[in-house]
Structure 1
């Protein structure tokens, strides 16, 4: 699924791109900070999903949404914005945006929005010339199920149950506060890269909560907090 990001805040743009890079099945077509550039890209490049801010200096992102709807373009749209007033939310709903994320947001919420759009994209691509009711039901229901990699008990390729248990046991020791990849790397003796893969899996399963921010020198930093100590205990047993 090809994605265009329209955002005029450099920090949020970096965050959006970083989050996108962590999701399989999507690719960044382009990124820009204003609507004229976004229109040019949409006219010249195939785009499946538009991640769009509402407040863009002298522009309003909803004006682009209106244009796309008048043109009957099939691009999905997720608004990522600080605009929380109900007038804007109502109009976005009426215009048929796929999702609406209010800044600041966590990766887990971003991931949920992208997975829904990716699933819709894949289902539309797989529809026959004449759809059956079951095809339409699957397309219009939002509760069609999580991606296979998120099913309880499944492990993504490259992860092992023994190492997952080791990371889970280390995380349990930090359940009374927040912790970092580095802390668990020291506790387990595993590399930070390996630990990050297991922590990502635990975040995907809703066992941990991940927070993301840029440090003083602009390097991304992740911290984690336990959401389900019982699940961690079961995984670490």
Structure 2
């Protein structure tokens, strides 16, 4: 999916882009901080998904949502905002936004929102000339992303490497650690370790946190949540 990010907070923008780059099937088209620039980009670029803030200095992101709905543009919209007022939430729902993330949010919730949008995009692209009820159900029900079967690993992960990362994580029980630390201790690349840590976070065995370093890039740290389960994985 081709994604446009509209956000006027530089730190949140960096976080959105960092999170976006971790999700397969997503491609960043552009990023901007105001509605006039967003309108120009939408007029000249193919965009499938819009990640949009509501509070944009003296502008309101819902204005752009209303415009896109009047134009019947085929763009999914996820609001990422500090706006939690009931009136704003109701209007967003009425306007048919795909999801609504209230700042601050974590990667798991971000990934859930974008995975749902990606699945909707795929199903819409594959619709036959006349849709069957099962096709319609898959689009309008919220359980369209099928969970993995128990014990099944995501594509590209192996049980042996998962056990290796789990053992390295157990060695840091009671403390926080980073991808770089586990990469050095396990002998695996940082990219590979990051994939396994993401899987363990998704399973609820690790907790992921982020903060901004001196150069402004997000740095991720991890903490064990279920030491017994991690120990079993590493055995």
Q: Given the two structures, how large is their TM-score scaled by the length of structure 2? A: 0.92
2:218 and 2:198 map into 1 onto residues whose CA distance is 15
Moved more, 91-100 or 182-191: 182-191
Q: Tell me which residue corresponds to 1:155.
A: 153
Q: Is the 8 A contact 1:108 1:210 kept in 2?
A: no
Q: Tell me which residue corresponds to 1:174.
A: 172
Aligned residues: 235
2:161 and 2:28 map into 1 onto residues whose CA distance is 32
How far has the Cα of 1:68 moved from its partner?
Answer: 0.9
Q: Is the 8 A contact 1:185 1:195 kept in 2?
A: yes
Q: Is the 8 A contact 2:119 2:145 kept in 1?
A: no
Relative to structure 1, the CA distance from residue 29 to residue 151 in structure 2 (aligned partners, 3 Å threshold; closer, same or farther) is: farther
How far has the Cα of 1:67 moved from its partner?
Answer: 0.9
1:35 and 1:135 map into 2 onto residues whose CA distance is 35
Where do 5+ consecutive residues of structure 1 fail to align?
none
Moved more, 173-182 or 121-130: 173-182
Moved more, 227-236 or 206-215: 227-236
1:192 to 190, 197, 201: 190
Moved >6 Å (runs of 4+): none
Q: Tell me which residue corresponds to 1:72.
A: 72
Moved more, 211-220 or 80-89: 211-220
How far has the Cα of 1:28 moved from its partner?
Answer: 0.8
2:194 paired with 1:204? no
Q: Is the 8 A contact 1:152 1:205 kept in 2?
A: no
2:50 and 2:217 map into 1 onto residues whose CA distance is 26
Q: Given the two structures, how large is their TM-score scaled by the length of structure 1? A: 0.91
**Per-residue Cα deviation, 1:115-148 (whole angstroms, up to 9, x for no partner):** 000000000001111100011011111112346x
1:214 to 208, 212, 215: 212
How far has the Cα of 1:201 moved from its partner?
Answer: 2.2
2:94 paired with 1:87? no
Q: Tell me which residue corresponds to 1:30.
A: 30
Where do 5+ consecutive residues of structure 2 fail to align?
none
How far has the Cα of 1:34 moved from its partner?
Answer: 0.6
Q: Is the 8 A contact 2:14 2:217 kept in 1?
A: no
1:8 and 1:151 map into 2 onto residues whose CA distance is 40
State the SS of the aligned residue for 2:153: coil
1:93-172 to structure 2, matched below 5 A, reads 93-146=93-146, 151-172=149-170
State the SS of the aligned residue for 1:127: coil
State the SS of the aligned residue for 2:83: coil
Moved more, 199-208 or 128-137: 199-208
Q: Is the 8 A contact 1:8 1:33 kept in 2?
A: yes
